[in-house]
């Protein structure tokens, strides 16, 4: 994993784990690396990993069972919500890009409709 300098490392780690869950790399209930393991893998301070895990626990994205490890949530509603959030963000980015190219909302709708129609063939 390569880190950018514009966002805190712990937040980038959270985004990476969230993405791995959304895309199916991580499954509901799957054990994730321990804090020490992940710190070693990524070459970051263990306190950074601790903060990322604590934030993910607060988000109900992971659960930690003392002496057993940390696991991705088993709650499918959380996964559904994350996927919906990611889809909305992707649509928003696309629309903003099209608007920056001078496209009207009506034209954007036409572009999207034409794109979807081509996919049906």
| Domains of the chain, residue spans | 9-74, 77-120
pLDDT of residue 121: 57
pLDDT mean over 53-67: 95
Give residue-wise pLDDT tens across range 5-33. Answer: 999 999 999 999 999 999 999 999 999 99
What is the DSSP secondary structure assignment for residue 106, as one 8-state letter? H
Fold category of 9-74 in CATH? Arc Repressor Mutant, subunit A (1.10.10)
User: C-alpha angle 49/85/28, rounded to 5°?
Assistant: 55
The dihedrals phi and psi of 71, each to the nearest 5 degrees, come to -135, 145
pLDDT tens figures, 61-100: 999 998 899 999 999 999 999 999 999 999 999 999 999 9
Q: How far apart are CA 76 and CA 82, in angstroms?
A: 10
Using alpha carbons only, what angle is made at residue 30 by residues 66 and 86, rounded to the nearest 5 degrees? 115
Considering the entire predicted model, what is its pTM? 0.81
Sorting pLDDT into bands at 50, 70 and 90, what band is 1? Answer: confident
């Amino acid at each position: 994993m390569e880190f950018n300098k514009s966002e805190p490392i712990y937040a980038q780690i959270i985004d990476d784990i969230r993405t791995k869950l959304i895309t199916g790399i991580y499954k509901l209930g799957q054990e994730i690396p321990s804090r020490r393991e992940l710190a070693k893998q990524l070459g970051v301070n263990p306190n950074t990993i601790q903060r990322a895990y604590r934030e993910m626990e607060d988000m109900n994205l992971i659960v930690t069972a003392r002496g057993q490890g940390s696991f991705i949530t088993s709650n499918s509603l959380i996964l559904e919500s994350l996927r919906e959030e990611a889809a909305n963000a992707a649509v928003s980015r696309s629309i903003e890009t099209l608007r920056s190219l001078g496209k009207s909302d009506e034209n954007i709708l036409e572009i999207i409709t034409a794109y979807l129609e081509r996919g049906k063939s």
